[in-house]
Structure 1
Amino acid sequence: MKLPIRALLLAAGFGTRLRPLTLNTPKCLVSISNKPLLHIWLDKLVNLGCKSTLINTHYLSDQVNSSIREYDNSKINIYTTYEKTLLGTAGTLMVNRDFFRGSLGLIIHADNITNDNLEELIDTHVNKSKDSLLTMLTFKTDNPSQCGIVETNEKGVVTAFHEKTKNPPGFIANGAIYAFDQSFLDFLDQTHFSGQDISKDLLPKLLGRIQTCYSQTTFLDIGSPTTLSRAQELWKKESLNE
């Protein structure tokens, strides 16, 4: 039986590297081609067939909530969870893991942008190696010291992970988009995981159990004015929802 897709859009951060732009605008509402990043991701999830998404909020949450109300929710159920104190990416996952029971789950950082439609990620996860619990989207980066660089074996399973280190061994980076199902939730339940960050705290515990899906499409972390300008220029020419 094909599992329904549910997604967590991580959208609560301060966006400090984009200041002064983010002093009055939450990072997830920064516009690319006159559309907020958050709406770009919601469109992508609708096109993927996702019926329910959860969005965590914190910084300038009133603006985020207002933007969500402006989005056409006739094709997707949108839920929010407000964090009075930021829980961290893994913390948010842990307190909301029941949201994903009985589904194929996605975790997405809403401050990234890609024209990947995520269909191959889903297919890769469905056909992952039997020991893998999580499937990670990867891409080739021009700036490996600012990314989480992965090493994989011949089956595409992660064997080593280097989170923002100097001179990492390669250019294949973690896209911070993950697919999973009940086996991953069982792992979280059984290990009583308590870390705050997915990349720093959770992924190192899963070496040998993370399948990768390499994307050859454009992928950018909107983490600085430079990458924001690059994204705005690129997406004048490319479709946001291919």
Structure 2
Amino acid sequence: MKAMLFAAGLGTRLKPFTENHPKALAPVNGKPLLQRNIEYLIDYGITEIIINVHHFADQIISFLEEHNYFGIEITISDETDQVLETGGGLLKVRELLTEDFIVMNVDILTDLDLNALIKAHQTQNALVTLAVSDRTSSRKLFFDEQNTLKGWRNLNTNEEISAIETLDHCKELAFSGIHVIHPTIFDKITQRGKFSIMKVYMELMAHETIVGFDHSGGILIDVGRPSSVLEAEEIFK
């Protein structure tokens, strides 16, 4: 199975580090996020990874070259002209993703059992399986009793997207930044250019099998700000 690491973001929350570096190279106990997640994927047998780059792309490429691409096949998706967000970034490399594939944000550190996530995805014959957990977040996803995605809500603005009349009886969980996707999704995407894959999910959830994989109780840190780097350093040595 191939994986894609989203590493093109500007990382504005990680300033001042990202004023001169990409967030993918932000160190946690001396080891960059990019390296930690490449090694995490390798630990689960992933040997083909696509990495999209935009902000200080040359630094990421140089880092990979210095480490001999960690002994695996790494493909760079160059978004230096325009960052395409998650949806556009995936669409750009669709020809490389012909079987179920993993997608992961580079600034996530977790102990999620990737094999269990993949097994759940394939057992349920899902189009998309989203890793989710019960934790504090301003944006929540809502799932029914079968763990099928039914809605999304921004808790700060009360903006809501729903596939059903009310989300009152649904489980409210936060997205963990990791998903497993079946390649037929590319035939269902109507957007082009720069767009979020989450918006695609919102459009498809009413008639496609998009499910959640709840890993509440495990470790998940969104290393998006300096304070979370310190938190991560307490756990990831």
Shorter-chain TM-score tier: 0.7 to 0.9
- Which residue of 24, 28, 31 corresponds with 1:32? 28
Q: Distance in 2 between matches of 1:85 and 1:15?
A: 15
Residues 3 and 101, structure 2, Cα contact 8 Å, conserved in 1: yes
Q: Could you tell me how far apart the structure 1 residues matched to 2:75 and 2:28 are? A: 23
Q: Which runs of 5+ in 2 are unaligned?
A: 161-167
Following superposition, the deviation at residue 193 of structure 1 comes to: 2.8
Instruction: Say whether residues 1:134 and 2:135 are aligned partners.
Output: no
1:212 partner amino acid = G
CA distance in 1, matches of 2:67, 2:112: 21
Q: Runs of 4 or more off by more than 4 Å in structure 1?
A: 166-171
Deviation of 1:221 after TM superposition, in Å, equals 1.1
TM-score normalized by structure 2? 0.86
For 2:100 and 2:69, the matched residues in 1 are separated by: 20
Q: CA deviation at 1:181?
A: 1.9
Distance 2:55 2:130 in 1: 27
Confirm whether residue 180 of structure 1 aligns to residue 165 of structure 2: no
Name the residue aligned to 1:94. Answer: 91
What secondary structure is seen at the aligned counterpart in 2 of 1:144? Answer: coil
Give yes or no for contact 1:32–1:231 (8 Å, CA) kept in 2: yes
1:78-129 CA deviation, whole Å, 9 max, x = no partner?
A: 010111111111111111111101x22111110111122311110111112x
| Matched residue, 1:144 | 137
- How many residues align? The count is 222
Which of 202, 205, 210 is residue 203 of structure 2 equivalent to? 205
Question: Counterpart in 2 of 1:239?
Answer: none
Q: CA deviation at 1:73?
A: 3.8
Q: CA deviation at 1:74?
A: 6.1
Alignment partner of 1:69 out of 46, 60, 65: 65
- Secondary structure of the corresponding residue to residue 188 of structure 2: helix
CA distance in 2 between partners of 1:68 and 1:162 (Å): 38
In the alignment, what sits opposite 1:240? Answer: none
Identity of aligned residues (%): 27
Q: CA deviation at 1:17?
A: 0.9
In the alignment, the residues of structure 2 paired with residue 43 and residue 164 of structure 1 have an alpha-carbon distance, to the nearest angstrom, of 34
What amino acid maps onto 1:184 in structure 2?
I
Following the alignment from structure 1 to structure 2, what is the Cα–Cα distance between the partners of residues 26 and 65?
Answer: 11
| 2:179 is the counterpart of 1:193 | no
Q: How far apart are 1:76 and its partner, in Å? A: 2.0
**What RMSD over aligned residues (CA atoms) do the two structures have, in Å?**
2.0
Is 1:111–2:102 an aligned residue pair? Answer: no
TM-score (norm. length: structure 1):
0.84
Q: Within 5 A, what are the aligned runs for 1:215-230?
A: 215=215, 216-230=217-231
- After superposition, the Cα gap between the structure-2 partners of 1:15 and 1:228, relative to the gap in structure 1 and judged at 3 Å, is same
What 5-or-longer segments of structure 1 have no aligned partner? 237-242
